Structure 1
Amino acid sequence: MRMCSLEYTWYSVCLSHLLRRAERASLYCQEVDPFWYRLAIGDGTDSAEILSERDQDRQFFMSLVTEVQARDPAIMRSVSRVLQLELYPDRRSFEEPEVNATSKGRGKLNKGLRRNKSGFEHVMGKSTSSGKSSAATGWRFDMERFPYFHRLPLTIQEHIEGWLDVVADGNCGFRCVADAFCSGQDNWDIVRRTTVSELHQNGPLFHWIYGDDLNEAITRITWEGERCGEEHYMEVLADLYPIANHYRCTIFFFGLNGRFGMSATILPVDVGGRNALPQRELAIAHLGSYKHFIRLQLKQGHPVPQIPPPWFRVASQNVLSWAQHYSRRTQRWDSSSTSTTRTTTTTID
């Protein structure tokens, strides 16, 4: 189509230009000569606001969203699928599972499926006959196959009965806590939220740990996605204190032999006026350069590492009896330990 003389001479928006543009996309203000869209008519008080291309696109998109929401649900689902494929092109290759033609009748439980299991059912949807999630059935007790056994402190090695290797997605420290107190490691996001809530409500209790970096700690712990980077890792020993305080529990933290030899017993700072002794205990270990936490199951009455000295200066009277409760077990740790206990805070996951 030949360009009309008006558009060719003045780059003005004639009807033919609008029609051609409508066939392809939208017409942006930046495509019109500034002389025309800045031209003041009359006193200029009614001049239209010139939006950027991005703002125009956003405005146009939101008008479509409003229109789609008012349409039939089938149209909404169809548009949603189109948007999902545009946002996640890697999902275009997903296919329905093939039909399982070898099954006979309904069968028992999942054995009678008329199709092969999907990848989600194989990997993410595993379950036992009791209905427990895979996170609750991941304990291992075959110690001869424990790959991290010799990386843990010598003092505790003979007391290990089992281990749980949680998912290594950057949330592993919070997964260990969730497995103990929140019905499974997949509820790690609950632990993050409750820890943030504890810091918001009782910030002054933890000033001795975080100092002026309390807000930065809240930002780091806050995470609602899936896999995260180091900027959202659990920080030990610091983050273990608000966790112990919220869940009213004792946390035994074990570092590695050698350079990562830090181990400590973490107690609540204040349990709200109650003098009851601890009812729940959690043992976790960090694997150093692997940047990964695991949960441990230990023998009853195992030795425990020392309580960091700063805790005694800030702990309320209602929890000082907890330290006395563990005194004999900390003495056993000291008498058999061959590594030096450190209590400095290190950022790891």
Structure 2
Amino acid sequence: GTEPVIHNDTDGAPWRVARIPNTSWKNYPWLHCLESYVQRLVRGWFNPIPDGHCGFRAISQAATGDQRNWPQMRRAVLEELESRPELYRAYYDGIANGIEDGIRRCRWASTSGCGPFNWMDNAELFVFATLHSWAIVVYSQGGRYTVLPVTAPPGVTRPRGILSLHFTGDHWVRLDFRHGQVPMPPINYLWPIYHDPSVNGWDQFFLHERALYDRLNPRG
């Protein structure tokens, strides 16, 4: 199939994030959890199969256009954590057994019996952001934040897309905002401290999105 591509409004550069068809809010079970401005600016949403792999399914749909490639997403995180653990260790410090828990979690590949320990955790978002050079925006009842890549591969000098997610407390859903209308919450506090010099200044690519969020959330 063709590689999913959208275009950045500011310069027309290809962004590697699959689009979602226009979707009505009519059947969205968690609508009450989203602010009215989010409802107004989102043009589509994708609700993955709730089998414990929903987070990886949401990432897979964005990266490949098909949620069924979730095993590939788990393997990608596992290989990245095992090959470059020091790059991500700080982002796992808030988890009981640190990065080792992330490695164990991503080894799970069964299509049944995927319990909470094996669900995608916030820390894995740093890995996916890095692997795809994405900014990942998260809206949840526990907080709103943005994850940026920890490092960049050779030749990549700017982010390649914005992926937006809604975490309901036990389920991940993809949101697709209108072009140029992504209200981006503050960058996760760990990124300015631990990111690699190859992504210095990448937060500056999103001044418009950050300003939009601040304007819509005057109290933070």
Band of TM-score, shorter chain: 0.7 to 0.9
Q: Give 1:338 shift.
A: 6.2
- How many angstroms apart in 2 are the aligned matches of 1:161 and 1:279? 20
Q: How many residues align?
A: 199
Instruction: Calculate percent identity across the aligned residue pairs.
Output: 26
Distance 1:328 1:196, change over 3 A: same
- Residue number among 199, 207, 212 corresponding to 1:327 in the alignment: 207
- Residue number among 174, 185, 199 corresponding to 2:81 in the alignment: 199
Give, as a single letter, the amino acid of the residue that structure 2 aligns with 1:196: L
1:263 corresponds in structure 2 to 144
2:177 corresponds in structure 1 to 298
Q: Give 1:144 shift.
A: 3.6
Distance 1:329 1:231, change over 3 A: same
2:101 corresponds in structure 1 to 216
- How many angstroms apart in 2 are the aligned matches of 1:250 and 1:173? 16
- How many angstroms apart in 1 are the aligned matches of 2:173 and 2:192? 28
Give, as a single letter, the amino acid of the residue that structure 2 aligns with 1:198: E
Q: Please identify which structure carries the higher strand content.
A: 2
Q: Please identify which structure carries the higher helix content.
A: 1
Over the aligned positions, Cα root-mean-square deviation in angstroms equals: 2.3
TM-score by length of 1: 0.53
1:282 corresponds in structure 2 to 163
- How many angstroms apart in 2 are the aligned matches of 1:247 and 1:278? 9
- How many angstroms apart in 2 are the aligned matches of 1:225 and 1:329? 38
Larger Rg: 1
Q: Give 1:222 shift.
A: 1.3
Structure 1: runs of 5+ lacking an equivalent? 1-129, 131-135, 341-349
Give, as a single letter, the amino acid of the residue that structure 1 aligns with 2:206: Y
- How many angstroms apart in 2 are the aligned matches of 1:271 and 1:331? 25
Give, as a single letter, the amino acid of the residue that structure 2 aligns with 1:283: S
- How many angstroms apart in 2 are the aligned matches of 1:171 and 1:138? 19
SS in structure 2 opposite 1:270?
coil
2:55 corresponds in structure 1 to 173
Superimposed CA distance per residue, residues 13-56 of structure 1 (whole angstroms, 9 cap, x where no aligned partner): xxxxxxxxxxxxxxxxxxxxxxxxxxxxxxxxxxxxxxxxxxxx
- How many angstroms apart in 1 are the aligned matches of 2:86 and 2:35? 33
CA contact (8 A) 1:176 1:294 kept: yes
Please show how residues 129-208 of structure 1 align to structure 2 within 5 Å: 141-208=23-90
TM-score by length of 2: 0.82
- How many angstroms apart in 1 are the aligned matches of 2:208 and 2:167? 25
Superimposed CA distance per residue, residues 54-77 of structure 1 (whole angstroms, 9 cap, x where no aligned partner): xxxxxxxxxxxxxxxxxxxxxxxx
Give, as a single letter, the amino acid of the residue that structure 2 aligns with 1:206: Y
